[in-house]
Amino acid sequence: MLSTSSEIGVIGSGAMGLGIAQTASAAGHKVRLYDNNADALLKAKNTLQSGFSKLVEKQKLSEASAKTQFENITFENDLSKFKNCDLIIEAIVENLQVKKSVFQELEKIVSTECVLASNTSSLSITSISSACKKAGRVIGIHFFNPATLMPLVEIIPGLATEKHVIDSSRKLIDGWKKVTVLAKDTPGFIVNRVARPYYSEALRIYEEGIADMASIDHAMKNLGGFKMGPFELMDMIGHDVNYIVTETVWTQFYFDPKFKPSISQKRLLEGGFLGRKSGKGFYEYSKEFTLPPSTADEETSKLIFMRILCMLINEAADTLYLKIAGREDIDLAMTKGVNYPKGLLKWADEIGIEKVVRELNTLKEFYEEDRYRISPILKQMLVSNKRFWG
């Protein structure tokens, strides 16, 4: 059973792995952070030390607390050191075969009671667990970047995951001052499924020449209250991450047109224009970046906002209809995981189910594409005059 005294292992010392290790350390755990690349491990150690120094300088952490949290983490390049871990969270490359290989190796080292978790954002937990002799110990524990700051963690049981593993994992992560939501093991889980239209519909609008990127970003920020527009956000996340998640979700849903990736974004990835991290993506970042002004008129801006919002609501509704997650967890996931200004199901109630259905019907009739099919739950609610939140 996992507890506050459990020893935690983290596989992968990149930004996500390091953030998870730091979060566990802040909660008082002894943590082992592994990477098979010695240079990456040293970089992580130096990054952590520098980060703690800055927190002390800004008086966000006492010197004693920083020292304790730093010393709670040991940096390892030998997996055999993980034999006494009670929970190991893998945070490596989004490659199913690589993850399976790591889990097979870990099972040879750890106790039969050790919980093995993946931080995958889009791969199947059931598929990962199939590599293990004891599949019931495997679970998805998906943090959001940066893990030290983002409150949401998705808990994803595979088909074989034992109930006590689900319960103890969720209780432990709740104790790390995180907000947990439970999701079914389907592509993208909650957040990376429901959020796809924010990017894909914005890209579609841009590719159709309805508006330029900055105008679309301004529409979502000014009319919707989103902190970042879709193009700004894709550039910040990085196209090597954002595009790959879209392509993975699309592929895993048997090429459902709802999740179809964009050629425009793929070309950026192919060219190495990854966004802020490379200095160029949809926008240039060679100097201090300022979002260009909108060139869209008020009517066009409203059209952009409603089109993207209704596509988001449709996906959130479908996630509820397919019982991937509950109403509360869906709205919580989108506000706490990607900082949406409102839960999408509450937003649907606010603007009216009839208006959402009408907007989606207009899109479907115009494009005649399955991409714009309406979730059955929205149709049911319209007929019965019901709301998501009573």
For residue 153, what are the CA distances in angstroms to 214, 245, 251, 273, 352? Answer: 31, 17, 24, 29, 30
Whether 164 is catalytic is no
Q: Write down the catalytic residue from 122, 129, 192, 375.
A: 192
* pLDDT beyond 90 at 194: yes
Whether 130 is catalytic is no
* pLDDT beyond 90 at 14: yes
Counting every residue written for the chain, the total comes to 390
Q: How many CA atoms lie within 13 A of 16 on its CB side?
A: 20
Listed by start position, the domains of the chain span 8-182, 193-384
Whether 72 is catalytic is no
| pLDDT band at residue 111 under the 50/70/90 scheme | very high
Instruction: For 278-289, write each residue's pLDDT tens digit.
Output: 999 999 998 889
Whether 142 is catalytic is yes
CATH of the domain spanning 8-182, picked from 3.90.550.10, 3.40.50.720, 3.40.50.1820, 3.60.60.10: 3.40.50.720
Q: Write down the catalytic residue from 13, 25, 118, 121.
A: 121
* pLDDT beyond 90 at 390: no
Q: Write down the catalytic residue from 154, 201, 232, 315.
A: 154
Question: Would you state the pLDDT for residue 99?
Answer: 98
3-state secondary structure of 154: strand
The tokens describing 328, both together, are 């509360």
Average pLDDT of span 141-165 = 97
Q: Write down the catalytic residue from 72, 119, 142, 215.
A: 142
Question: Would you state the pLDDT for residue 109?
Answer: 98
Checking phi first, is residue 33 left (phi over 0); if not, alpha (psi -120 to 50) or beta? beta
Please tell me the CATH code under which domain 193-384 is placed: 1.10.1040.50
